[in-house]
Amino acid sequence: MHEENSRRDMIKKVATMALASTALSSLSERVSAHDKAVGEPLKGKINHSVCAWCYDDIPLADLCVAAKKIGIPSIDLVDPKDFAILKKHDMTCAMVASNGPEWGITRGFNNPAHHDKLETYFRHYIDETAKAGFSNLICFSGNRNGLSDEQGITNCTKGLQRIISYAEKKKVTLVMELLNSKVNHHDYQCDHTAWGVALCKSVGSENFKLLYDIYHMQIMEGDVIRNIRDHHQYIAHYHTGGVPGRHEIDETQELYYPAIMKAIYETGFKGYVAQEFIPSRPDKLASLNNAVHICDIA
């Protein structure tokens, strides 16, 4: 009987060790699944970009070189004064920056007091964007400051309609970013997909659309894939980011980006997806390379 019990104990130990080994192997495979060599060919279903500000300790020229090696043809959120650097490295800018000294995320189109300056500012930036051969120019709603959602849409519409025909003429799309008001941008008005879509309908132009930031919208409302499928016709651009923390988009966070990219691709989207996470690891460019391969769906 003692011998039989010993045999059973040994079998249990072996089985337990085998299960543990399988689990560790599976975890290792998941962790390294996107640890690809730089320059490994991409499948081409997603057009990749990267936001310059996330790598602000790397000179723009060096970021261009590194991005090209990974297979990224675009740098997001570059100001017109730096377009020459992009051109030198044969890079595009899928989303042009716009952040003036008297306006920005907190002060935008929802305040009529800004409309005169915004019209002047954006006509200039539309010109610079068009002259460079780029097509998307970012813009913001501004903070609520007590405005109702309805009044915010009315005010934004009036401000945007002062420049939208000029944008149409120049073949530039004004793209308002959806941001979260819960963690990062308290009181920002364009903080839900439904509000942004309502504004698109109110403006009534194919040259005004949304930047759907996946990180921000996961925080505000979740249901990312459904919202992308339901409202893709109003979306001109996407940004990524890991939730929580806005770091790497790998297995350390709650979103599964391959499924999100598949949903984006299936809508017929032809624009760009830009990585906008803040690398938490020492080798920032390795994190960027891994993120691109995570989004590189078959």
Phi-psi sector, 39: left (phi>0), alpha (psi -120 to 50), beta: left
The third-level CATH classification (topology) of the domain covering 34-294 is TIM Barrel (3.20.20)
Token pair 């504004």 in the structure block, residue: 199
DSSP state string for 13-54: HHHHHHHHHHHHHHHHHHHHTT-PPTTPPP-SSSEEEEEGGG
Whole-number percent of the chain with pLDDT over 70: 87
Torsion of CA 211, 269, 73, 297, to 10 degrees: 110
**In the chain, what are the domain boundaries?**
1-32, 34-294
As a whole number, mean pLDDT of residues 276-282 equals 97
* pLDDT beyond 70 at 148: yes
Phi-psi sector, 204: left (phi>0), alpha (psi -120 to 50), beta: left
* pLDDT beyond 50 at 8: no
Instruction: For residue 34, give Cα distances in angstroms to 40, 115, 258, 275.
Output: 11, 46, 11, 15
Instruction: For residue 243, give Cα distances in angstroms to 154, 210, 239, 247, 279.
Output: 32, 21, 13, 7, 13
* pLDDT beyond 60 at 49: yes
pLDDT of residue 223: 98
Token pair 């109110």 in the structure block, residue: 202
* Greatest distance between any 2 Cα atoms in the chain: 92
* pLDDT beyond 50 at 31: no
Q: Which neighbouring-strand residues pair with 275?
A: 50
Q: In which band, very low, low, confident or very high, does the pLDDT at 34 lie, cut at 50, 70 and 90?
A: low
Letter string b/e over residues 128-150, b meaning 16 or more CB atoms within 10 A of that residue's CB: bbbebebbbbbbbbbbbeebebe
Q: pLDDT tens digits, residue range 209-242?
A: 999 999 999 999 999 999 999 999 999 999 999 9
Q: Count the residues in the chain.
A: 298
Q: How far apart are the first and last CA of the chain?
A: 57
Cα distance between residue 147 and residue 155, in whole Å: 10
Cα distance between residue 167 and residue 169, in whole Å: 5
Cα distance between residue 261 and residue 266, in whole Å: 9
